[in-house]
Amino acid sequence: IDVEPVFGFLKANLGFTRFSVRGKEKVKNELAFGLLAVNLRKYTAREVNV
């Protein structure tokens, strides 16, 4: 599975280009929120089309 499109989507469509926090745990949390946003967008797009 290719994971690069997910990060491209974060950057291009959601404007996520850099982290606004410092520290490994905080960066993990911020990235988790970004990935959650991507998954929610996919989920809602799928639900609308079904």
Confidence of residue 21 (pLDDT cuts 50, 70, 90): very high
DSSP 13: T
What is the value of pTM for the model shown?
A: 0.78
User: What is the rounded CA–CA span in Å between residue 3 and residue 12?
Assistant: 15
Cα 5-18-44 angle, rounded to 5 deg = 45
For the stretch 29-42, pLDDT in tens is 999 999 999 999 99
| CB-based contacts of 20, cutoff 8 Å, min separation 6 | 30
